[in-house]
Amino acid sequence: MPRCPVCDAPVFLHATKTQPATLTAPFCSDRCKTIDLGRWLAESYSVPHVSRPEDEDDLEGLEGEAYPET
């Protein structure tokens, strides 16, 4: 059974005879859903980036170029 990433409460993805499905899955409630959104907006979470030598090679031809306007 999965657990809420904010408060670690159980989350029910499918309804059973004794327990309805959690409507706010993967969070246990709207409150935890809002807390998680606030953490993303405050940049408390981040996606790690590891530079690789190949990445620098890809950028060599882009120096000095402007982005086209849309």
Identify the domain containing residue 19 by its residue range.
Answer: 1-59
In a domain, 68, yes or no: no
Whether the Cβ atoms of residue 25 and residue 7 lie closer than 8 Å to each other: no
Q: What is the pLDDT of residues 3-15, one digit of tens each?
A: 999 999 999 999 9
Q: State the pLDDT at residue 50.
A: 81
Q: State the pLDDT at residue 15.
A: 92
Q: State the pLDDT at residue 59.
A: 59
In a domain, 65, yes or no: no
In a domain, 21, yes or no: yes
Q: State the pLDDT at residue 63.
A: 58
Q: What is the pLDDT of residues 13-65, one digit of tens each?
A: 999 999 999 999 999 999 999 999 999 999 998 888 887 777 666 556 555 55
Q: State the pLDDT at residue 29.
A: 96
Read off the CATH number of the domain in which 44 is found.
3.30.50.10
In a domain, 40, yes or no: yes
Total domains in the chain come to 1
In a domain, 64, yes or no: no
Tell the residue number behind the tokens 């409507």, with chain if given.
23
